Amino acid sequence: MTPSTPHTGRFGPYGGRYVPETLIPALDELAAAYAKASGDSGFLAEVDRLAEDYVGRPTPLYRARRFEAEAGVGPVYLKREDLNHTGAHKINNTVGQALLARRMGKPRIIAETGAGQHGVATATACALFDLECVVYMGTEDVERQSLNVYRMELLGAEVRPVDSGTRTLKDATNEALRDWVTNVADTHYIIGSVVGPHPFPLIVRDFQAVIGREARRQILEAEGRLPASVVACVGGGSNAMGMFHAFAGDEEVALIGVEAAGEGLGSGRSSAPLNEGRPGVLHGSLSYLLQDADGQVAPAHSVAAGLDYPGVGPEHSHLKDSGRARYVSVRDGAAERAFRALPGLEGIIPALETAHALAWVVEAGRRGEVEVPVAICLSGRGDKDVVHVAGLGDGEAGSGDGEAGPGAVP
Amino acid sequence: MEKQGRGQFRDGPAAESLRFGRRFMMGDAPRGRIAERFARLAAERRAGFIPYVTAGYPTLAHTRELLAGLAEAGADVIELGIPFSDPMADGPTIQRSSQGALDQGTTVDDAFAVLAELRESSDVPVVIFSYLNPVHSRGVQTFIRRAVDAGADGILPTDLPLGADPPLEAALEACPLDLVRLIAPTTSPARVREIAGASQGFVYYIARTGVTGARAELRGELVREAGAVRAASPLPVAVGFGVSTAEHARAVGAAADAAVVGSALVDRLDDGGVAGALELARELRSALNEVRPG
């Protein structure tokens, strides 16, 4: 990785450190440790070495020709973060933060997880560095991502189900913050997305920015030009920030974040704060937020547990307001169809989260709205979702518009 | 009357300036009522009692009855909690009361309405205890105006540490409400002085690293820590988080200017209704009358 620049903790007006006083020293300590580490060539070299030897980087940028034919859009490149160790982009961040925790002398790690991918990636990094690991996970997610619960336990982590509130990622994050407030002396909180109080949105983005750096280089090699569009799904927004960051200065590249519209914008059953929310404070930072008129956080919904979150990273809010990025949305059904289609077309089972980005390219491509070449962040693999999608039946695919490919999951 | 900021409480406004009747006049912001109360406590050489109530839990009718009862039972300041969907600094008890209040449909306006009703019978100082988002969502100036109109004396935002948002903090510091600041066991001595210097009305010392919730024991170091904060603070110091019993109250009251009790009262409200909670309040009040900070 490359050194990061000093930072104020704000992206435009967004971000900040809206936390209980108890956490302020820990955030100061983390910001200082990160500033030091990110200027330390030894640390940066160790992150790079682990990325190569352990995570399996660089990941390929793969041209998906059968997907192109099916969607009628091309060239389409998939940045294969699903091929990382543990099957998603999340490990780029957890290995880096676990190294930071070791430098800070914190023997205990906590994390929140929605889909379970960040929990698995955290448990993995903790096994690697011999750190104690506790992962908070909403009981609804424990149910729909049971495979990942078992993986975390195999890796030596303790999974603590969270039964409060909406029993999903939001509440798992509350509980992780409560643990951190209580055990802050010996514990580092590895936040899984570009959310939370400063310096987390900055640290997570920097560790994930390797995705876009590689993709930019790779597409220049393959196409001799930059992509016209870069597309990624956005829950908290870590894979999207990781993908976007290297292209932020390339004004000719359209940055497109795909939020989860759930059962539809306006239905009250969605997870699209950049489309439907307004600025508010949750989990330590100011950002777009789903909330009611009284400032109570509104429950989110998405078929993809990793997108089922009412907030979003503050840098995305700034990219939206500045117009540098565009945020669109895709409904559960379209994401499920893309999930079922890609395996038969390309031999790749995408995560349901990732399927939102694929589905947008299909839908917008049909309307002639996708500038090509397009690079999509294939943020994770979908093995974790197979049982859940199979359980949904094929109603969505069957009643849809025939988008499901030949290899659709039965 | 001036809002009581740093260092002013010990020679705050005289009691007669808050004569009954005048304080209820429209547009007469209740400035200094907190400082006034602490000055009186100091003069009477006893420790203060600060109960916390979640607005709307289990119903607004209970809150109405509880607030009036607590004022009657001798509360020195009441913390009125605005329920929030994501109370990240709170343990299971306040999570339950907050969610319960929201399930009842309690709004910010409802909380202000019960406060306004309390003002018909009592001048006990009231601090609005809230997470930042309900304040931010309403618009800070609107929130302040509504709170002042309802008869609030202070505001304590749980997730607005010193320096987090200078423009917002400046707006709260300049408003008629006292901006009560929190100090934690993890706060460095230099920052303790900074926070105590920036706080208004009083300083809230968090008794342990952790979330709110009743506990069987207080930490052994608490008395010494509270004493150190008190020595560094120009304002009176209240101690809360885990203060649950008369014995705890006596220990805290000997080291600080006031004890804050929240979760234990909510637990008692669940078990014994308003009568049970008020019984605990009277025990705590009586225990705190027996001690005075050194």
**Token match 């506790």: residue?**
A134
Whether B249 has a pLDDT exceeding 70, the answer reads yes
State what percent of residues in chain B have pLDDT above 90: 87
Dump pLDDT digits (tens) for B98-129.
999 999 999 999 999 999 999 999 999 999 99
Tell me if B238 sits within 8 A of B204, measured CB to CB: yes
Residue A24 to residue B91, Cβ atoms within 8 A: no
Taking residues B212-217, what's their average pLDDT?
91
Distance CA B192, CA B177 (A): 22
Task: Report chain A (410 residues): mean pLDDT per 10 consecutive residues.
Answer: 61 97 95 96 97 98 97 97 98 98 97 94 98 97 89 98 92 96 95 97 98 98 98 98 98 98 97 98 98 97 94 98 98 98 98 98 95 98 90 54 34
Confidence of residue B294 (pLDDT cuts 50, 70, 90): low
Burial code of A301-317, b = ≥16 C-beta within 10 A, e = fewer? Answer: bbbbbbbbbbbbbbbbb
Q: Which residues of A does the annotation mark as catalytic?
A: 90, 112, 379
In a domain, B13, yes or no: no
Number of domain units in chain B: 1
pLDDT, residue A80, reads 98
Confidence of residue B3 (pLDDT cuts 50, 70, 90): low
pLDDT, residue A293, reads 96
Three-state DSSP string of B115-179:
HHHHCCCCCCCEEEEECHHHHHHHCHHHHHHHHHHHCCCEEEECCCCCCCCHHHHHHHHHCCCEE
Smallest Cβ–Cβ distance between B89 and the set A16, A26, A181 belongs to: A181
B49–chain A nearest CA distance, Å: 23
pLDDT, residue B12, reads 34
- B interface mutation test: which of A14, A21, A289, A291 has the most B CBs within 10 A? A21
Tell me if A61 sits within 8 A of A78, measured CB to CB: yes
Torsion, CA B270, CA B274, CA B275, CA B280, rounded to 10: 70
Q: How many helices (H) and strands (E) does chain A have?
A: 17, 14
pLDDT, residue A398, reads 36
pLDDT, residue A186, reads 96
Domain of residue B136 covers: 30-288
Tell me if A351 sits within 8 A of A381, measured CB to CB: yes
Residue B220 contacts by C-beta under 8 Å, 6 or more apart in sequence? none
3-state secondary structure (DSSP) of residue A402 = coil
Tell me if B230 sits within 8 A of B255, measured CB to CB: yes
Distance CA A166, CA A280 (A): 19
In a domain, B241, yes or no: yes
Active-site annotation holds for B72:
no
CATH number of residue B176's parent domain: 3.20.20.70
Residue A128 parent element (H or E): helix A117-129
Tell me if B108 sits within 8 A of B64, measured CB to CB: no
- A interface mutation test: which of B82, B85, B169, B179 has the most A CBs within 10 A? B85
Residue B162 to residue A21, Cβ atoms within 8 A: yes
Dump pLDDT digits (tens) for B7-63.
333 333 333 333 333 333 334 444 499 999 999 999 999 999 999 999 999 999 999
Q: What is the mean pLDDT of chain B?
A: 90
Which chain A residue has its CA at the smallest distance from B204's CA? A21
Cα four-point dihedral sign A109, A112, A118, A119: positive
Q: Which long-range contacts (CB under 8 A, 24 or more apart) does B264-270 make?
A: B264/B214, B265/B51, B265/B52, B265/B53, B266/B52, B266/B54, B266/B57, B266/B93, B266/B94, B266/B96, B266/B97, B267/B93, B267/B214, B269/B57, B269/B58, B269/B62, B269/B66, B270/B58
pLDDT, residue B129, reads 98
Please report, in angstroms and rounded to a whole number, the separation of the first and last CA atoms in chain B: 30
* pTM metric for this prediction: 0.92
In a domain, B171, yes or no: yes
A177–chain B nearest CA distance, Å: 7
Residue B134 to residue A178, Cβ atoms within 8 A: no
Residue A130 contacts by C-beta under 8 Å, 6 or more apart in sequence? none
Cα four-point dihedral sign A276, A278, A283, A286: positive
Dump pLDDT digits (tens) for B152-203.
999 999 999 999 999 999 999 999 999 999 999 999 999 999 999 999 999 9
Dump pLDDT digits (tens) for A49-68.
999 999 999 999 999 999 99
Nearest to A211 by CA among A376, A42, A45: A376
pLDDT, residue B16, reads 32
pLDDT, residue A379, reads 98
- A interface mutation test: which of B110, B136, B137 has the most A CBs within 10 A? B137
In a domain, B2, yes or no: no
pLDDT, residue A311, reads 98
In a domain, B267, yes or no: yes
In a domain, B57, yes or no: yes
Q: Which residues of chain A have a CB within 8 Å of the CB of B132?
A: 18, 281
Active-site annotation holds for B159:
no
**Size of chain A in residues:** 410
